[in-house]
Amino acid sequence: MPINDMSRMSRRRFLSGAAQAAAGLLICSPMVCWGRASRGRYPMTFFHTHTEECLKIVHTPGRCPRSERRRINRFLRDFRTGDTHPIDPALLDMICRIQHAAGSRGTIEVISGYRSPKTNKTLRKTSSGVAKKSLHMKGRAIDLRITDIPTVKLRDAARSLRAGGVGYYADSDFVHLDTGAYRTW
């Protein structure tokens, strides 16, 4: 319709268009549509600070193919014992959401991923900050920093999600993330 004819839109045509838009919102809510549109493939680059290994993946939140899971499980193994454990894919989803919220494309520096019960027990003897029932032992936690985000901003972005645990260790310059209940420290 030419611009000068827009003022002549009939009431019937306007109401028909409005009814179609309303029906569309009932069928697919704006949040669902936004969620579908924002799903994508996110390149993620990891660097393990203890093993000096790198891992590059393209992650799709909500999906974690078996081949990607195997690579992640191996990469986030207990670097002290070599033990592997399934890593919760929701952890990768959290990291994607944090990077998206912070506008980050930086490298994810991993300090600790999976921890075997043996490693966790040993660490508890030397540090008061290691939980007896740590989610690291279930593949549901990671300690990290991201190269293009100050750790305080990383912490704030993680807290804004209000999902999982977020621990901030300023002296050691890293953030703990886990897929447990929302809590902060």
Residue-range definition of the domain harbouring residue 56: 40-184
pLDDT of residue 33: 35
pLDDT in tens, 67-112: 999 999 999 999 999 999 999 999 999 999 999 999 999 999 999 9
Q: Do 177 and 159 fall within a single domain?
A: yes
Q: Which long-range contacts (CB under 8 A, 24 or more apart) does 98-104 make?
A: 98/146, 98/154, 98/157, 98/158, 98/161, 98/177, 99/42, 99/44, 99/146, 99/149, 100/38, 100/42, 101/157, 101/160, 101/161, 102/146, 102/149, 102/153, 102/154, 102/157, 104/146, 104/148, 104/149
Q: Do 80 and 162 fall within a single domain?
A: yes
Neighbours of 133 (CB within 10 A): 8
Q: Do 103 and 62 fall within a single domain?
A: yes
Q: How are beta strands 108-112 and 42-48 bridged, if at all?
A: parallel
Contact 44, 59 (CB under 8 A): yes
pLDDT exceeds cutoff 90 at 39: no
Distance CA 143, CA 154 (A): 12
Q: Do 127 and 158 fall within a single domain?
A: yes
Q: Do 26 and 45 fall within a single domain?
A: no
pLDDT in tens, 125-180: 998 889 999 999 999 999 999 999 999 999 999 999 999 999 999 999 999 999 99
Tokens of 17: 């268009």
Q: Do 74 and 13 fall within a single domain?
A: no
Q: Do 77 and 103 fall within a single domain?
A: yes
